Homo-oligomer: A and B are copies of this chain.
Amino acid sequence: MPFMEEALEEARAAGSRGEVPVGAVLVHNNKILARAGNRTLQHNDPSGHAEMLVIREACSKLQSQRLPECDLYVTLEPCTMCAAVISFARIRRLYFAAEDNKGGAVQNGVRFFTQPTCHHSPDWYSGLSEQAAADLLTEFFKSRR
């Protein structure tokens, strides 16, 4: 399955737990090293976003706080917190599906990777499986209104 499809699987699983349906996979040497969906509610952790969870797990597995040969696939444009930790971890490439004009920080908001206080920027690509990822979020928020 393409990596973004795997991230979408994680997003669906997060939604079914009542979490905002965002998922991510962290890829190293063309294999998935870590996979996660949002767990902010379940973990009582405001930092428990999918991207944060896969980065922490991958760092733990590789025993390093930097992941310069790793690529991250995530179903939603990373927020300000996650854009910063992606930079700190020296992620090589970032692929995200839907954009987030309310909370995103890559092509929206603070556009962190273009800032002088950003000391590493991944190559980043948006729009893979964009519709599927956006539909998941739209359905989720509609069902909770």
A positions within 8 Å CB-CB of B: 40-41, 44-48, 52, 55-56, 59-60, 62-66, 79-81, 83-85, 88-89, 102-105, 108-110, 112, 115-119
Which residue of B47, B103, B105, B117 contacts A47 across the interface (Cβ within 8 Å)? B47
- Complex contacts, A64 vs chain B, CB 8 Å: 44
- Complex contacts, A110 vs chain B, CB 8 Å: 80, 110, 112, 115, 117
Q: Which residue of B lies closest to A89 (CB)?
A: B46
Task: For the complex formed, measure the closest distance between the CB of A41 and the CB atoms of chain B, giving whole angstroms.
Answer: 7
Q: Which residue of B lies closest to A65 (CB)?
A: B46
Contacting pair A117 B80 (CB below 8 A)? yes
- Complex contacts, A109 vs chain B, CB 8 Å: 115-117
